[in-house]
Structure formats: C-alpha cells, structure tokens
C-alpha cells in the first residue's frame, strides 16, 4: 500500500488536494504543489496523507509543516509495510476523529466562500489565518480561553492592529468557534470574551 501526500489549497475553482513538489533531497519542497501540471507556491492549507485500506480510501490531515508532514508519511508507510508483512505495529498513526484546527479553518473558509460575499470571505480568511499563526494547538477541542486571549494580544502587539480591528478579527474567530460548538466550554463564553477585548480609549 502506497501512502501519498497532498496539500489542500485554494484555487479559482475552490479547494483542491494537490500533489506536493519533491525537492532534490527527496523531501517536500515547503508550500509548493502541482496545479494543472504546473508548480505553484501555496502557503495556505494543510498537508494530508491518503492511502487505500480494506478497499477504502483513507485520508488524514498532518498539519501545515512540510517537514512534519514528510516524517508522518514515512512513518505511516513503514506502519503499512509492517502490517502487510504480518508484524504488530506499536503506536500507529490513527485516523483521529478529532477535528484539526487547520482542517476546520479550510472547511469553514470554503463554506463562507460559497455562501457569502467575497468581502466577507476575505475578512474571515485574514482573521482565521492570524488564528493559525498565533495558536500552537493541533485539535480544535484543545482551544481554551487563554488561547483566545493570547490571540487578541497577538493581534495587538505583533500585528499592530487598531483596537477596532482587533475587536473585529476576534469576533470573526468567535463566530467560527461558535459554529463548531467550541465556545460552550468553561470560560469560553463568547459574550464574556468579546467584552474582555472590546475597544477602549487608549487601548494601544
């Protein structure tokens, strides 16, 4: 069984899983994929492993880091080769049912692009990309109140955004999380969080 690796990217036709570009060293060339037989650079999106198992296609997200994705592919290929040889594999890479943040962001942006105005989609795309930059969690369910407060501080201190823009970007992320039933957790009340980072006089 062959394990393939692709990257899910934005194209003019919507989201697509595209083959990655392999460099001279045999590793993934970060952010480069093949689109319509042409190599293109796409920093957005996440890498995916896919393979056939028991007659079914399996696909899992392995994050946005090219080196980590390559290592995951090597490990998964060794697992499948070992299983085919009748060996017992310890600590296999599972098809985890938990939703990864990168996958959730990609799916949400695709839905917004299909159902809302382009201006709205562009705004959410920036907000959610900032969330990915600031948050080191892998799974959506791992996001906690402190991650969102750090996100607000990231917008203010790293991106140097105005108080009003910080508030708007924060509101976009809260809407995203509410749609996925994440803000029901203790300390994650959307109303209370929005109140904590509301624009104030002298905010910056």
Q: Residue 102: its pLDDT value, please? A: 83
Query: Could you state, in order of their start, the residue ranges of all structural domains in the chain?
Result: 4-84, 101-196
Going by the DSSP 8-state scheme, the letter that residue 2 receives in this structure is P
- Is pTM beyond 0.75? Reply is no
- The CATH fold of domain 101-196: DNA polymerase; domain 1 (1.10.150)
Q: How far apart are CA 35 and CA 81, in angstroms?
A: 30
Going by the DSSP 8-state scheme, the letter that residue 121 receives in this structure is H
Q: How far apart are CA 131 and CA 150, in angstroms?
A: 10
Contacts of 12 (CB under 8 A, 6+ apart): none
Mean pLDDT over 163-172 rounds to 92
In Å, what is the CA distance from 56 to each residue of 51, 53, 95, 176? 8, 5, 13, 31
**30-61: pLDDT as tens digits:** 999 999 999 999 988 889 999 988 888 888 88
């Amino acid at each position: 069984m062959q394990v393939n690796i692709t990257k899910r990217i934005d194209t003019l036709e919507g989201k697509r899983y595209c083959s990655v570009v392999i460099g001279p060293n045999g590793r993934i060339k970060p952010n480069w994929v093949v689109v319509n037989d042409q190599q293109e650079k796409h920093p957005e999106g996440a890498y995916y492993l896919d393979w056939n198992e028991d007659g079914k296609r399996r696909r899992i997200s392995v994050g946005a880091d090219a080196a980590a994705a390559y290592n995951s592919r090597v490990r998964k290929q060794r697992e499948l080769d070992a299983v085919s040889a009748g060996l017992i594999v310890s600590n296999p890479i599972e098809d985890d049912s938990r939703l990864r943040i990168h996958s959730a962001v990609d799916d949400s942006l695709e839905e917004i692009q299909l159902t809302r105005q382009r201006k709205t989609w562009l705004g959410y795309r920036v907000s959610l990309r900032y969330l990915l930059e600031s948050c080191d969690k892998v799974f959506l369910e791992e996001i906690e109140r402190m991650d969102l407060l750090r996100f607000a501080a990231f917008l203010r201190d790293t991106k140097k955004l105005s108080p009003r823009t910080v508030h708007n970007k924060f509101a976009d992320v809260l809407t995203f999380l509410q749609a996925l039933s994440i803000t029901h957790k203790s300390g994650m009340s959307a109303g209370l969080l929005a109140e904590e980072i509301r624009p104030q006089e002298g905010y910056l």
